[in-house]
Chain A
C-alpha cells in the first residue's frame, strides 16, 4: 500500500458531496418525491391543457405554474434536508463519519451541496413541465427565456434558503425521523399559518420564507405588493395579501440561506456524540 496523503478540504468536500448525493438519489424519500413531482407535473399540465385560455400569454402560463412552487419547494427541500444533522447524532452514521480525518464543516457542506442538487433537480422537473406546456401552446419562439432563467435562479436561491433552515432545525433533534417530521411541519404548516394569520393584521410578513417564495413567479408577471380586501365574512374582516418585491424576496432568501447555514455549521461543529 502506498503512502496516504490527506486530501485538501476542497477535495474532501467533493468526496462528501458525491457520496452523499449518491446516497440521497438511492433513498426512498427521493424516489417518492420524484413520483410526487411527476404526478403534480402531469396533473398540472393536463389541467392547463384542459382549461387553456387562448387569451393568456406564455408568461401568464408560466406564472400560473410557478404560483404554488414555493410550497412544493419547501416540502421537497425539507424532506431532503430535514434530518441532515440529526442523522449523525441519532444513528450510527456519525460514528462512521465523524471519526474520519475530515473537518465537520467540510462534511456538512458536502451534505448541503448534495441535498441542494437533489432538491433542485426535483424543482427543475416542475419547470420542465411548465416549459413543455408553454412550448405546446405557444411554440418555442414565445418562451420567455430571460424570465424563465430569472425564476429558476430565484428557485435555486429559495432551495438554498429552505435547505439551510431545514439543516438548522435538524441540529436540535437526535432522532432523524422526528427531526424530519418537525422540520416539514414547521416549514410547511408554520409559514402557511403565519402568513395566513398576518393577512388579518396588515403586517407585511417580510420575515417569512414562504412570503419570499412568492418572488418565483414575479419574473413572469409583476403582482401588486399589497392588496387589501375589505368586508370578508360575517365579521367584515379586512384581509391584506402581500407579494414581495423581487429584490425583497431575494434578500429574504439570502438571509435565510446565510444565517441558517452558518448556524448549522457552528452547531454541527460543536455537537457531541453522547449516549
Chain B
C-alpha cells in the first residue's frame, strides 16, 4: 500500500440483466493525495453505481476499482481498510445507541480502544450529533445522516466516499457538513456525488461529470467554471429603471428581460470583456446594487453536458 491515498477506476463497466442495461460504461479516472472530487450527473447517470463498486457493494462487470492501489473486488478487506463511506441511506441497528453505532465501526476498523471515547466525543461536537445515548431507531433522518457520517469518519480513514451526503438535511446541517468536509479535504481524499452545484462549488477542487454511464468531463472546478462561464447576469438597481434605458446601452448584451421594476436579466456572449463592459454601461444607467451570474458555472456545465451528452463538452 502506498503512503499517498488514491482512488482509481480502470475501464469500469457495470451492466445489469445480462449486459442489456449498462449502468456504467468504461469509466476511468484516478485521483491521489488530498482534496475533494465532486461526482456530478443526473439521476441514473451511474454515480452511485461507481461508488458502490468502489466500496465493494457491487462487483464490476468489467474493469477494476482500486483504493490505495488495492483491487476492491479481489481484496475487499484490505482495500477498504482506510476508507470511510456513506452510500445511499445507511441505517445502524435501531436498538443501538448513537455511541454504540459509532463505536462498533471504530472496533471493526481497529481504532485504539482507549481513544475511541474521546474520538466519538470529538465527532459528536463537530457534527452536532444527537445525545450519544439516544437510540438510532428514534433519530430523525438528518440526525441519522450525521451519525452515519460520524461513523464513516471514526478511526480517521484517509479516503472518504460520500453519496449525496447532504440530501435531506436542513440548511444548518448542510453548512455544518460543508465546513467539516472543507476541513477534512486538507489531508484526506474525498470523493462525493451530489446534485447540489452550490455545494460542489464550495467544497470540491475537481469535478467529474457523468451521464448515461459515461464520464463526459473531468477537470478542476476552476477550469470548468472558465469553460462554462455564465452567459447571463442578474442586475439589480437601487431605484426603478426603464428597460429602454438598458436596451439603449447597445451591443454589450443580446437580450434584456425584466424580472422586476429594479431587476433585470441580461444575456451576453459570456466573455469576461463583455461582462466588464456591460457593468461599465449599467452604472451609467442607475445605481447598481447587485450584479451576479444568473446561474453557477457548474450548473451551466451540468446542463450543457447533460443536454449534449459527450458532445456537450467543450473542446
Contact = CB atoms under 8 A, between A and B. Distances in A.
Given A23-B93, A23-B95, A92-B89, A99 B57 contact: yes
A95 B90 contact: yes
Given A272-B58, A274-B16, A100 B115 contact: no
A14 to B, nearest CB: 9
B104 interface: yes
A8 to B, nearest CB: 9
B16 A6 contact: no
A93 B110 contact: no
A96 B148 CA distance: 8
A177 interface: no
Which applies to chain A's interface (DSSP): helix, strand, loop or mixed?
loop
Chain A interface size range: 20 to 34
Nearest to A20: B93
Interface string B80-105: 11010111111111011000110011
Nearest to A92: B91
A101 B77 contact: yes
B16 A99 contact: no
A1 B59 CA distance: 33
Contacts of B59: 270, 272
Contact of A99 (B78, B85, B110, B156): B85
B111 A95 contact: no
Contacts of B93: 19, 23, 93
B78 A101 contact: yes
Chain B interface size range: 35 or more
A99 B55 contact: yes
B52 interface: yes
A95 B112 contact: no
A19 B156 contact: no
A140 to B, nearest CB: 39
Contact of A4 (B86, B89, B109): B109
B107 interface: yes
A26 B57 CA distance: 28
A100 B105 contact: yes
B58 A96 contact: no
A72 interface: no
Contacts of A23: 93, 95-96
B56 interface: yes
Contacts of A15: 104, 107-108
B33 to A, nearest CB: 20
B127 to A, nearest CB: 16
Contacts of A95: 57, 86-91
B112 A26 contact: no
Nearest to A12: B108
B52 A273 contact: yes
B257 to A, nearest CB: 43
A246 B278 CA distance: 95
B300 interface: no
B88 A6 contact: no
Contact of A101 (B81, B92, B96, B148): B81
Interface in B35-54: 52
B165 interface: no
Given A99-B87, A100-B105, A4 B96 contact: no
Contacts of B86: 95
Interface string A1-43: 1111111000010011001001100110000000000000000
B119 interface: yes
B305 interface: no
Interface string B146-173: 0010010001100000000000000000
B262 interface: no
A75 B115 CA distance: 43
Contacts of B92: 93, 96
A235 to B, nearest CB: 51
Nearest to A7: B110
Contact of B112 (A2, A92, A98): A2
B76 interface: yes
B111 A1 contact: yes
A15 B106 CA distance: 11
A4 B57 contact: no
B99 to A, nearest CB: 13
B80 A99 contact: yes
B89 to A, nearest CB: 5
Interface string A93-114: 1111011111110000000000
Given A23-B93, A93-B93, A272-B58, A100 B108 contact: yes
Interface in A79-136: 91-96, 98-104
B52 A102 contact: no
Interface string B108-137: 111110010001000000000000000000
Nearest to A272: B58
Given A16-B108, A99-B57, A273-B88, 8 more contacts: A1-B119, A2-B112, A93-B91, A95-B91, A96-B101, A98-B57, A100-B109, A101-B79
28 contacts: A1-B112, A1-B155, A1-B156, A4-B109, A4-B111, A4-B155, A4-B156, A6-B78, A6-B81, A7-B107, A19-B100, A19-B104, A22-B100, A23-B95, A27-B95, A91-B91, A92-B88, A92-B90, A95-B57, A96-B92, A96-B101, A99-B55, A100-B105, A100-B108, A101-B76, A101-B108, A103-B76, A103-B77
